[in-house]
């Protein structure tokens, strides 16, 4: 059974401890009072202190992943993600934990006066577990930020692959930027969905905005063409610049089964002919 006196100290001096902790947070230069109200901070601090007391009662200070600390970690996870959305920085968020050290040390010194060995032991345990919890908030903050960035990248990916209806039975997909495996999946999904929606027989894939074409990019293009054919649509690849043509020849990339054109205009002309349309020049007025 644990001989730690920390839970006893927290319970007996909770009011003073909570008041001093909040005072120090509000006085800190890293405190964003423009982002959080005093009442909300009070509620969060009280909630954390209750969970912290429960965790400390276990006497398990070396492993915050132990069962006794799970409620504390869950509370911090929610708090960190909320503060990340509110605009707090990682250091401003971690301050919530680290600012508890001084008030706790002060109460320990008062309660354990005349017991220097016990005081040192309790301060080491307290410092260690608060450090671990502070680092945990940084990890959660980083994870939350990465999730936001990942969602934004997915949204940008979808926006960067617009499928345009050029004519009855003809759609076009202008590609801009690097074509990798993740983007190929989005390109396929967008193109196939649009083919079904419009009942198109021909899809023009324009790679004018693709900076380089290597073997991998060519494979992604061929996969997209094959997927479109399974949906009953033929594909034309436009935007084959001289440099890209030379690269393809050098890499022995075989696109002989696919119609290729130098420009979107030429590809559209071929597509119109295949769908039974004829482009003629009108008389100038």
| DSSP structure string for 41-82 | HHHHHHHHHHHHHHHHHTT--S-TTSGGGHHHHHHHHHHHHH
For residue 156, what pLDDT is reported?
A: 64
For residue 284, what pLDDT is reported?
A: 63
Domains of the chain with bracketed CATH: 6-155 (1.10.490), 164-274 (3.30.750.24)
CB atoms within 10 A of CB 134: 20
Spell out, as residue ranges, where the chain has pLDDT lower than 50: 1-2
Sheet holding 170-176, edge to edge: 164-167, 170-176, 202-209, 234-238, 259-261
CA 196 to chain centre: 31
For residue 203, what pLDDT is reported?
A: 94
Whole-number Å distance between alpha carbons of 38 and 31: 11
Whole-structure pTM over 0.75, yes or no?
no
């Amino acid at each position: 059974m644990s001989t730690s006196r920390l839970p006893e100290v927290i319970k007996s001096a909770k009011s003073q401890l909570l008041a001093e902790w909040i005072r120090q947070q509000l006085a800190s230069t890293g405190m964003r009072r423009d982002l959080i109200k005093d009442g909300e901070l009070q509620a969060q601090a009280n909630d954390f202190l209750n969970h912290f007391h429960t965790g400390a009662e276990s006497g398990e200070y070396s492993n915050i992943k132990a069962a006794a600390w799970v409620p504390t970690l869950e509370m911090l996870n929610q708090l960190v993600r909320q503060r990340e959305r509110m605009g707090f920085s990682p250091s401003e968020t971690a301050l919530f934990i680290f600012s508890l050290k001084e008030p706790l040390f002060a109460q320990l010194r008062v309660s354990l006066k005349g017991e220097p060995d016990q005081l040192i032991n309790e301060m080491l345990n307290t410092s260690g577990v608060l450090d671990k919890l502070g680092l945990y908030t940084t990890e959660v903050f980083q994870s939350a930020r990465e999730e936001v960035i990942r969602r934004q990248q997915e949204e940008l990916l979808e926006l960067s692959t617009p499928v345009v209806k050029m004519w009855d039975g003809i759609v076009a997909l202008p590609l801009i930027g690097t074509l990798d495996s993740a983007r190929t999946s989005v390109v396929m999904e967008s193109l196939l969905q649009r083919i079904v929606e419009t009942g198109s027989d021909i899809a023009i894939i324009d790679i004018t905005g693709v900076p380089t074409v290597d073997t991998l990019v060519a494979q992604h293009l061929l996969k997209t063409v094959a997927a479109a054919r399974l949906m009953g649509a033929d594909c034309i690849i436009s935007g084959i610049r001289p440099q890209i043509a030379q690269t393809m020849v050098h890499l022995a990339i075989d696109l002989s089964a696919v119609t290729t054109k130098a420009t979107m205009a030429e590809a559209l002309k071929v597509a119109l002919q295949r769908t039974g349309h004829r482009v003629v020049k009108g008389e100038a007025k």
